[in-house]
Structure 1
Amino acid sequence: MNLFLSRERESSFIVREIKQILQYRDEDDAIHLYIYIYIESREAIGSLNINIVYPQSTKKQSNNNITNPLQEMSDYHKLVENLTEEQILAKFPDVIPLDTRPNSRASGNSDLSARDQKAFTGHNETQIQLMNENCIVLDWNDNIVGAATKKTCHLMDNIERGLLHRAFSCFIFNDKNELLLQQRAKEKITFPLLWTNTCCSHPLSIDDEIGVKHPGDLSANVKGVKNACVRKLEHELGIPQVETLTKGSFHFLNRIHYMAPCNDPEKVWGEHEIDYILFFKVTKGMELTVKPNVNEVEDFKWVDCNTFKDLLNDTENYSFTPWFKIICENYLFNWWNQLEDLSNVENDKNIYRML
């Protein structure tokens, strides 16, 4: 399918056309066709080529799961999908069942086993203590199984056996539609010195952030994730909670499910998350205070869309986290184009599998 646009037509026309294509859903808001859109735009000519590839099957997806239909299901995908709550608890004895989990941010156990000492060798003491935080362990459908420490959830030994937890990725845009990027501090145990979106972290297994065991309309989970995000924006970037609550608004976009080993030489650490994607739009005429915690953030910058595209292509000077690259490759620029009105893309109930 080709759309040919004259030079006289405004760029807003292009955005409207793309939005119409991306909104192809049925009356129940279920996606029957998984649509891939590849866009090539040449400013001098003003043409826009859109190729749409349809999968062989249009069978309705169940459990709000969307998987690339042109990609063969991996063994890891099958492993994680088939793990029941009972199997997860039996397979990972460090996971505390939901009914008995402590309503506390961290386990409080600072004693390190010989194995832990080896894994933490050379790492920053503050970051080691943060690995005691209690993350939310999940099954395939984002149902809560229990709680486990950040350390337990991020060891590749556990990830390779299917352990999955909840996370969030926040993107803050100022009133100029510039995105706030951060470079993770060199002290970070996972993915140090990589550039990423504004804030990436985890809701904890505490009442204000955990949500509900079986997500229905997702509102409780999204509320918990937003509470966690407000907390972490202050911790990492020094953005006062009162400013986050009064100088802008959160928008929940969707959830992605991915797995990625860390960039540490020994491959001890990694991520396996259902990641809630949040946009935060600063109110017109307002600014956020940004005073980064040097133990969390090495550097930060506000970038417009074109500048950011240049950074993505500057592979000699910029390296990015795996989840951020997934979001950029699949969603970010479409969402960025719709910042003024996100109603067509927010509150997507599907889980997009990137395994």
Structure 2
Amino acid sequence: MNYYMPTQFYLENNCIKNHQKELNQCGKKALIVTGKHSSKMNGSLDDLTESLTIPYVIFDEIEENPTLDICEKGAEIGKKEHVDFVIGLGGGSSMDAAKAIALLIKNEQEDKTCFYQKKELDYVDVICIPTTCGTGSEVTSKAVLMNPSEHKKGSISHDIWPKYAFVDGKYLAYASHELIANTAIDALCHLIESHLNTKATDLSHMISGYGLQKFKTIKDSLLTHEYNYNELMLVSSIAGMAIAQTGTTIPHALSYDLTCFYNISHGQACGIYIVSYLRVGIEQNDQDAKDVLKYLGFSDIDSFDEWIHKLIKKPKIEDHEFLKNSILKNEAKLRTSKICIKSAEIHKIIEESLD
């Protein structure tokens, strides 16, 4: 059994300002990696810059599904400015990009081609500050990037752990209901996919099981919009801690094509498949799949289906064969599921999930 989690994690009100000392001890000059708008609107960028007593540079060109090219560009700016650590501020896109940028800053001889190469590379320190409630990137070593030229999306080959995670739910007050729902569904998929993963252990089940039970306490708020923001963030980070030990499985693998080819947001794309995936496990009489429903407080799979489709809608996609063939070629990802997933199950999941 193995467990590794090197990130120092804090979740509290006014978290950034409370940990100003740790923030400023990470280096002599910071690169802040963020998007163009949300961190400015929700006040997180102001909180961060007001807490920094050292020089910093802002790279605010990160959009949803960051590309290899934008990470390379950010790293070039970081190297030119002689920064020695990186702060990812925003959703999963900003935090994942910050990790990739930290890798290139440390390894000046490398370019974007190294992201998917198996080689030992170090990275400068990374701090992650999430402002959405789904990614979990602040407590994982993974970074998911997009390669538009090849229509591919996936985790890079390097483990890049944040040194610190500063988490504060107050920034969610500025997020739309749709964003909160989509990112919370992503966290839910993390918990379920970790729980039903071949790499799951007693320790990872402790995390994912607790996270699923915590999700039960917030699931109604996603429909009523009466949020407890710190609870949403806590569930998201717990879900990140779960997949940090196991990785994700089939719904995430299926989701990437929906994002790459149909521009469906990541959380929604994962949620589209999660009910049918869990249904396969229930039909196979898998106890862990049954436990997922119990932990979430659903009496059966149909009530779970009804709840989730109040939050996300099935897309109308006709080319099912392309989606089926794409995932069936990914034998490594198929092996991550403790639920028996073969061609027939993939066909069932896709057909049930898409109109």
TM-score with structure 2 setting the length: 0.28
Give the helix-richer structure, 1 or 2.
2
- Structure with bigger RCO (C-alpha 8 Å, 6+ apart): 1
Q: Which has the larger radius of gyration?
A: 1
Give the strand-richer structure, 1 or 2.
1
TM-score with structure 1 setting the length: 0.28
